[in-house]
Homo-oligomer: A and B are copies of this chain.
Amino acid sequence: MGTAPTSAASSPAPSSPAASSPTARTLADLDTPFAVVDVHRTRRNIERLRARAERLGVALRPHVKTAKSPDAAALLHDCAPGPVTVSTLAEAEAFADAGHRDITYAVGIEPRKLPRVIALLRRGVTLRVLLDSTEQAMFVASAARAAGVTVPAQIEIDCDGHRGGLRPDAPGLTGIGRALDDAGCLDGVLTHAGESYFCHTTEEQRAAARNERDAAVAAAERLRAAGLTVATVSVGSTPTAHAADDLTGVTELRAGNYVFFDLVMAGLGVCDLDDLALSVVVTVIGHRPEYGWIVTDGGWMAMSRDRGTAAQAQDQGYGLVADLSGALIPNLVMTAASQEHGTLTARNGADLPELPIGTRLRVLPNHACATAAQHHGYHIIDGARGPAAVPRVQAYWPRVSGW
C-alpha cells in the first residue's frame, strides 16, 4: 500500500510501517499519489505565528482541522499538549486520546452530539461548545443540568456576514448569555473573519482583523454590561491572525491553515510559496503533445476538487508543479483533473518541459485543508537537512478522519 490505514479516531503514531520499511526511505520509494509534509516549513510557520501571538499578548489556540494530526499538533505548543480548536467530535476524541485537555469544538452544537461532548467532559477534557441561538443555549443548559456537569459554551459572533453567529448588537445576545450563565455554562464569545479570505491586500486584512476584534470585544462588553462574566474572547482566521496589529480585549487567537499554508494564502500575500509545507507526489503517466498536455496519476482524488485560487488574480488551476526536490518548475500548472488523472500545461507561452513517463513531481495545492483530507496521512521530509534531489522520508503522520 502507498498509504497506511486510518481510523475515525486514530491514535498518534510516529511512523507507519510503510515509511519505516527498508523499501520506503525516500520520496521515490512509495507508490503515487501520496501527501508529503516538509516538517521544517511546518515548524517555521508555527514559530512565526507563535511569536506574533506572544507580541500581541494573546494565547494561541490553533485549529487542528487542517493537518488533523496529533503528530503535527505536538509541534504547536513546544511539544506539550496545549489549547486547540477542532472541527469535528472525531477530532476532539482523537486529540483527547493524544493528551489534549483544552479543546474548542468550533461548529454550532446540535442536541444529538451532546452525549459525546459530555463523555469528553467526564474524561477531564475542557471541551468548549459553540452556539448562536436561544434554542441551543436551552438544550445545552438542560443537558448540563441533567448530567450534573458544566458544558463550557461560547456564543458565536458574526463579524462579517460570512456564516453563523449573532451580530454583536443582536437583540438576543444577552438573553442567550443569561440562559447559559444560569446553568454555569457561559464561557465567552468567539468570532471568525471568514471573509478575510477575500481580502487581497495587507491593509484590507488588517482592517478585517480590527473588525473581527471589535465585533468580539463589543459582544463581550455587552454581556459584561448585563452583569455576565465573559472569560474567553476568541478571534481568528489565518489572514487576520497574520495581519492583526492590536488585539486589546481579545484573550485568544485561532488559526489553522497556517501550519501548512497553500496557494490561496500565497495569493493573498499571507505567506510565500516557499512556506508551503504540503504537497502531493505524482508520477507522469503520459504525454499529449498535440494538446500541450503532460498526464499524471494525481487527479482530484489526490488534490481535491478545491479551486480556491480561481477567485484570485492569479488562478493556479489545481496547483503549481515542483520537481521531487521541491523546486518549482517555471510556468508548469496542473490545469485539469479527472478522478485519477491530472493534466499539466505550460503557461505564459513557455515550452512544456521534457518529463518522461515515470518522472515524479510534487504539486502544491490550492487549499491545504481540502487536499490533506484526501489522504490517510503524511510522509514527512525535513527541509532543514538541506536540499535533496530525492528527499528522505523521516516519518509517517496519520490523519484523523470521519465525524
Contact = CB atoms under 8 A, between A and B. Distances in A.
A93 B163 CA distance: 43
A90 B2 contact: yes
How many copies of this chain? 2
A327 interface: no
B110 A295 contact: no
A338 B106 CA distance: 12
A182 interface: no
Contacts of A369: 339
Interface in A264-315: 283-288, 291, 295, 297, 300-302, 304-307
Given A3-B402, A5-B5, A113-B31, A163 B341 contact: yes
A136 B8 contact: no
B88 A340 contact: yes
B108 A301 contact: no
B356 A297 contact: no
Interface stretch (A173-181, A205-213, A227-235, A370-378): A370-378
Contacts of A330: none
Interface in A91-130: 93, 107-113, 116
Contact of A297 (B108, B295, B357): B108
B356 A284 contact: no
A37 B403 CA distance: 18
Contacts of A305: 304-307, 367, 370
B403 A2 contact: yes
26 contacts: A1-B8, A1-B90, A1-B402, A2-B90, A3-B402, A5-B8, A5-B402, A6-B7, A31-B403, A32-B110, A34-B403, A65-B339, A87-B339, A108-B285, A111-B357, A112-B283, A133-B357, A135-B357, A158-B288, A163-B343, A300-B306, A300-B370, A304-B305, A305-B370, A339-B369, A339-B370
